[in-house]
Amino acid sequence: MAEIGRLLTAMVTPFTTTGEVDYVRAREIAKKIIKNGSDGLVIGGTTGEAPSMSDEEKLNLYKEVKDAIGDEGTVIAGTTDNNTRKSVELSISAEKLGVDALLLTVPAYNKPTQGGLIGHFKEIAGSVKIPGILYNVPSRTALNMDLDTTLELSEIPNIIGTKEASSDADQINYIIKNVSDSFKVWSGNDNETFSIISAGGYGVVSVAGNLISAQVKHLIGLILEGNIELAAKEHLRLLPFFNALFFITNPIPVRYAMNRCGLNVGSGRLPMIPSDDELQLFSKKFDPVMDGYDIDIQAG
C-alpha cells in the first residue's frame, strides 16, 4: 500500500462568485497546503462540503487536485454516503482517475446496524484495489461505529486505517491497542491530535491544516521525537485556534478564516451559509482568536 501520510488536510472546496466549483483556485490552494507541510489532502469530505456537490463535480475536483499536486502529496477522495451502490460506483470512478485512497464515511441518516456497517464497507472496499480509510464521526452521522466493528473491518486488506472523530477516548485507545501495526489511526479532530498520537495513533485529518499546516506538522514532529513536554506546550498554544474553528459548524469558520487572510475560497453553498447576524456574532468571537496566530499559508 502507498504511504498516505500522517498530516492529511481536509481541504475546503473553493467556489466562484456564482457558486460553481473553482477548479483553478482548488489547484492553487492544494499546492499551497502541500508545500506548507501536509502529506495529503482529503477532497470531498465534510470540510469540502461534499453533500452539496454533484458526483461530476467531485470527480472533476479529485482529478484537478491530483493533477496539481502529482506525487508531492496524496489525494484521499470522499466517495461514500448512505447509498452503498452509489458509493461503489463513485469509488470505482475515483480509482480510475488515480486518487491514492478513499475516505469511507459512516452513513448518515439511515442508521444501519453494526452488521450493516460491516457489509457496507466490505462491499465498497471489495470494489476497488486502492486503500480505504474509515471515518467515524457520530456528531454528523448520529451513529457510532463501535470498537468491535472497527476491529473486524481492520482485517480487510485494503482498509488501512480509521479517521476517529468520536471523541470517545477509551474507544480510540482500545482501537490503537488492538489493531495490527499496519492499521493506522488518524485523529479526526485537531484538538485531539496530541492525545491520540501520544497514545500510539498515526496522525490527523486536519481542518486547521488549511491555514497552519506547518504548525500542525511541528506539533506532530515533537510528539514523534518523544519531546512530550514541548509537544504539550505546543498543543496548548494551538488549542484555542483549533477550537475556534468549530465555534459554529465546520466548514463555515475555516472558510471564513481563509477568506479573511486573502486565500479567497468564496462563499459556501446552501445550507452551509449562515445568516448575516450569525456571521457577525461569530466574527466578533473568532477574529480576536485568529489574530493571535500567524497563518502559515500565504495568499497570492
Cell numbers of 34, please? 502541500
The rounded radius of gyration (Å) of the Cα atoms in the chain is 18
Task: Report how far apart the first and last C-alpha atoms of the chain are (Å, whole number).
Answer: 35
- Active site annotation includes 32: no
Burial 121-150 (b: 16+ CB within 10 A, else e): beebbeebebbbbbbbbeebbebbbebebb
SS3 86: helix
SS3 112: coil
Question: What is the rounded distance in angstroms from the CA atom of residue 92 to the CA atom of residue 107?
Answer: 18
Hey, which bits of the chain come out as E strands? 7-10, 40-43, 74-78, 101-105, 132-136, 159-164, 184-187, 203-206
Active-site residue (options: 32, 58, 66, 163): 163
- Active site annotation includes 135: yes
Active-site residue (options: 135, 202, 217, 256): 135
Question: What is the rounded distance in angstroms from the CA atom of residue 4 to the CA atom of residue 271?
Answer: 32
DSSP single-letter state for residue 48: T
Cite the active site residues. 135, 163
